[in-house]
Structure 1
Amino acid sequence: MNGVTGRMGYRQHLVRSILAIRDAGGVELPSGDRIQVEPVLVGRNAEKLQELARRHDVEDWTTDLDAALADESATVYFDAQVTSERKGAILRAIAAGKHIYTEKPIAETVGDGQEMVDAAVASGVINGVVHDKLYLPGLVKLKRLIDSGFFGTILSVRGEFGYWVFEGDVQPAQRPSWNYRAEDGGGMVLDMFCHWNYVLENLFGAVESVTARAVTHIPTRWDEQGREYRATADDAAYAIFELEGGVIAQVNSSWAVRVDRGELVEFQVDGTRGSAVAGLFGCRIQPAVSTPKPVWNPDLPTEEDFRSQWAQIPDNTEFGNGFRAQWEQFLLDVYAGRPHAYDFAAGVRGLQLVEAGLRSSSERRSVDLTEVATPPADQASTERLRATEPVA
């Protein structure tokens, strides 16, 4: 497990997934047997690794990635490093014969991602990319509504994501500084369009075109040492995605917005027979038969409490941690020797949307996804498009 000293790698992947699986006795197989797991912690900071190992009773840790990859007892390599370091480490792990599970984006460019796909296919290793939002209770409930035909014909999707990330001068920033430097693999489009691609294609349909505007609202930030730096990556993106079947999806993503919604991310889905608003955990619905009939009247204050007219879907089941759920599915796939549903190719499709979105922003036009065809591996050095001018 490479990169677990970072917040996401530590909290979600190490503690709440792998260590939770280990402490529960492993992943249960249909036969009743269990797949046991034991992590090997890898990173650059020996002091942090040693402390994590001590705190969580982990025997093996190292700052030598090649030594860890040479350990034949460790059959899976997981990567949660900064994006700019991911491709090289994963290619080394593939060459060592490891099955690969990785955070996204899997690389910085479509070409780099395709090189990783080709290497994984050639070696025959099972490969997977984290698709955590599909396992969230709110989106699981939303998927059930879609599968049941609740919406009738789906017309549109509207997504709102984000929160205020402090600049770092007065209040410490709650995200790493590299997230705001394009040269280190940062940026809202690169980070979140990979998420939106798999959410949209698995729930509503593949993205066919995108119109986007990527901006840097806050041009100056302060890093973990209190040093001022120029933000070279986009910190917000406003996009319209056209999906197969005619569904229109609008998604706003921003680290420079103050939250006035129930959850940090929410998706409203409107259909001919009903609508729903799904977040991380909750999902509220309003079927056609209970839809109110408001009348626009700017001369009188609105007396209707519109939010009270929606009904919350009950849990009906116990929802576990979404990251752990996908880890368990990946480990079952590795054990069975079968492909993982969300593989490197899915990660490349996310990068295609990233590059289409950045091109749309740069060229101020709608970009068809066919314009970002997957290049051969020898074009992996194609320079990323960027739109980083500050916007007041």
Structure 2
Amino acid sequence: MSRRTIGIVMNGVTGRMGYRQHLVRSILAIREQGGLTLPDGTVIWPEPLLAGRSEQRVRAIAERHGLDRWTTDLDAALADPAYEVYFDAQLTQVREKALRGAIAAGRHIYTEKPTADSLDGALELARLARAAGVCNGVVQDKLFLPGLIKLKRLVDGGFFGRILSVRGEFGYWVFEGDWQSAQRPSWNYRSQDGGGVVLDMFPHWQYVLEGIVAPVRSVYAHTATHIPERRDEEGRPYEATADDAAYGIFELDGGVVAQLNSSWAVRVDRDELVEFQVDGTEGSAVAGLRNCRIQHRGATPKPVWNPDLPVAEPFRSQWQQVPDNQEFDNGFKTQWEQFLTHVVTGSPFPHDLLAGAKGVQLAQLALESAAGGRRVAVPELAL
């Protein structure tokens, strides 16, 4: 059995997502299981080098987990040939520059989304990576969630017949920061810092819709800043200049209509923080992060509208749970394993920088739609 060590510069692990999902639950989890074993017996061993702007914070994380490599000098880290992969979980506004530097240094790229704050920037990153011949990947974690894996299984198995529509609800109440601390960083609510629910969530909706149902061909969006003033991490008031809610209608291939609401100013009355309902001629499903419920055509009840009587139908109990039928690992870890396998073996990896650019494109077109109050076509992207 041979061992293949892959050095990974991990930039942005002081943030919530970079630390919890990418460092602890992915890279360190792979190390804890003894590495990633390939079919030929080769063991991939990820060796992280933690990078960040705050020496105190990045050093503390390294010491907490027994890691001896950390730095605040990104250029020096990228120049070290022992680290062939660069991962980025920084703020959106600084990501594109760092990715450009990593590509120029010949490093393979794995990055959070959005990959840039403009479509031109996202496409240029994809072109640069292709010209440099480096492997590149973008985090598309929701495709690896149990609930959406089950939903994709239903689509592939023909359960829905002809798919008619998709309805999605995402969001929760993010506290304003006055009498309770906010659950999201303040930059999320400042457009000048790359914030906004459209730029944050529409790249997700792009790959979820295309990867499970069909590609998006048009978008009509309405955005809002429902909470105009919030307080930052030090308790200081600031103006919320970015959208905290977006209401989108998407036309997909085949005439499928998708309606997705995204909000950080909504109180949750659903089983999970995000849910998608897919309706088809032969059946329907409601999928969340972990669970998926179905109702087949032959088991569909026949409700009768009568506002004069109390509701007697137990609607939720008329659905059937889709079984797991497999063991589900952490979705971020699963995609990391696929990307590392891609780097070592050259196996297919569809979630590349061009795929990431599609997400930026949809967010940009949604903002154009909201500004102009009109439906906007989504053209095909190519390098």
Question: What is the TM-score when the length of structure 1 is the normalising length?
Answer: 0.94
| Match for residue 32 of structure 1 among 12, 26, 41 | 41
Rounded to whole Å, the distance in 2 between the matches of 1:52 and 1:300 is 59
Whole-angstrom CA distance in 2 between matches of 1:276 and 1:375: 33
Q: CA deviation at 1:257?
A: 0.0
Partner of 2:337: 328
- For the residue of structure 2 that corresponds to 1:284, the secondary structure is strand
1:191 is aligned to: 200
Give SS of 1:292's match: coil
Q: Give the secondary-structure state (helix, strand or coil) at the position aligned to 1:44.
A: coil
Once the two structures are superposed, the pairs formed by residues 303-342 of structure 1 within 5 Å of their partners are 303-338=312-347, 340-342=349-351
| Separation (CA, whole Å) in 2 of partners of 1:375 and 1:174 | 37
How far is the alpha carbon of 1:38 from its aligned partner?
Answer: 1.2
Structure with greater proportional strand content: 2
Superposition deviation, residue 118 in structure 1: 1.1
1:90-133 deviations in Å (ceiling 9; x for gaps): 00000111000000000000001011011101100000000000
Write the letter of the residue equivalent to 1:337.
G
Cα distance between partner residues in 2 of 1:257 and 1:246: 29
What's the secondary structure of 2:96's corresponding residue?
helix
Structure 1 Cα separation of the partners of residues 382 and 147 of structure 2: 36
1:146 offset after TM fit, Å?
Answer: 0.5
SS of the aligned residue for 1:245 comes to helix
Match for residue 165 of structure 1 among 165, 171, 174: 174
Q: Secondary structure at the match of 1:38?
A: strand
Give the fraction of aligned pairs with identical amino acids, expressed as a percent.
Answer: 65
Q: How far does residue 337 in structure 1 lie from its aligned partner after superposition?
A: 3.0
Deviations 1:262-288 (A, max 9, x none): 000000000001000000000000001
- Length, aligned pairs only: 374
One-letter amino acid matched to 1:233? A
Relative to the length of structure 2, the TM-score reads 0.96
Per-residue CA deviation, residues 185-232 of structure 1 (Å, 9 max, x unaligned), is 110000100000000011111100011001111010000011100011
Which consecutive residues of structure 2, in runs of 5 or more, have no partner in the other structure?
A: 1-9
Between the aligned partners of 1:2 and 1:217, the Cα distance in structure 2 is 33
Which residue of structure 1 aligns with residue 255 of structure 2?
246
Distance 1:59 1:30 in 2: 30
Q: How does 1:67-216 map to 2 (within 5 A)?
A: 67-216=76-225
User: Which segment is superposed worse, 330-339 or 107-116?
Assistant: 330-339
Quote the residue 2:361 is aligned against. Answer: 352
Give the alignment partner of residue 361 of structure 1, picking from 365, 370, 376: 370
> How far apart are the structure 2 equivalents of 1:84 and 1:374?
23
SS at match of 2:205: helix
1:6 match = 15
RMSD of Structure 2 on Structure 1 (CA): 1.1
**What are structure 1's unaligned runs of at least 5 residues?**
377-392
**Counterpart of 2:297?**
288
Kept after mapping to 2: 8 A contact 1:110/1:374: no
**Which of 294, 306, 312 matches 1:297?**
306
